A = this chain, B = another copy of it.
Amino acid sequence: MGRIEIRRNILEANETLACRNREFFKANGVLVVNVMAAPGAGKTSTILKTIEVLKDRYACAVIEGDMASRIDADVMAERGIPVEQINTGNMCHLDANMIMQASGKFTFDTPTILFIENVGNLVCPSEFSLGEDLNIVIASTTEGHDKPYKYPSIYLRADAVLINKTDLLEAMEFDRKMFCDGVAAVKPMPPMFEISCRTGTGLDGWAQWLSAECERKFAQSRGKVAGR
């Protein structure tokens, strides 16, 4: 069995489980947001700040993915956010099976946004569906404007792109046009939001877009239930 075939088998097996996750989430009224970014781009901060804005309207929960440690899960738990930590060991991404195990531990008794913080990695998470509704990629001004050119596959999956740490945009000489051209070279331009988790800039616009996505999903779910 060749390496390419093994790879295909692994991805196909994952896809089957991702479909089951998708059905489970739909049946339970859960909108799933898969958050992908390089290490240190601000995944945890963005999820925290987004939940702060949306928590009065929606129930929120988080799955944290890291090779090791419970640092991020502890931060969420301190704020009273329902959270499950996945430690992947030497695995470089989350997969559908891990999400199936972790999501079974929550009680979803009201429409919920489930944020999945993937392992910090701009390569491998792009290949593994988790059963998510939305894939979000967070770039940060401190990592530079050339990343879409160097890591195109993660941007190819992005339903929305967030540029974080915009309070440092000028100091970092972050070239917004070069960044956007790089994303646009990969796919039709997705919605893009410039935010700063430190100052709070831009978070409302992003949360508003996410709310609209939630409304659409939850309306669909209600429609389906009503139509039965």
Interface residues of A in 105-144 (CB under 8 A from B): 119-124, 127, 140, 142-144
Q: Is the CB of B144 within 8 A of A40?
A: yes
| Chain A: interface residue total (CB-CB under 8 A) | 36
> A10: which B residues are within 8 A, CB to CB?
3
Tallying the copies of this chain within the complex gives 2
The CA-CA distance from A147 to B10 in the complex, in Å, is 28
Q: Is the CB of B67 within 8 A of A152?
A: yes
Interface residues of A in 9-29 (CB under 8 A from B): 10
Q: Is the CB of B71 within 8 A of A39?
A: no
Interface residues of A in 158-191 (CB under 8 A from B): 165, 168
> A90: which B residues are within 8 A, CB to CB?
123, 127, 153
Q: Is the CB of B149 within 8 A of A69?
A: yes
What are 26 A-B residue pairs whose CB atoms fall within 8 Å in the complex? A1-B1, A6-B6, A38-B38, A38-B143, A39-B143, A39-B150, A39-B151, A40-B140, A40-B142, A40-B143, A40-B144, A40-B147, A68-B151, A69-B146, A71-B146, A71-B149, A90-B127, A90-B153, A91-B123, A92-B92, A92-B123, A121-B121, A121-B122, A123-B124, A142-B142, A142-B165
Q: Which residues of A contact B (CB under 8 A)?
A: 1, 3, 6, 10, 38-41, 66-69, 71, 90-92, 119-124, 127, 140, 142-144, 146-147, 149-153, 165, 168
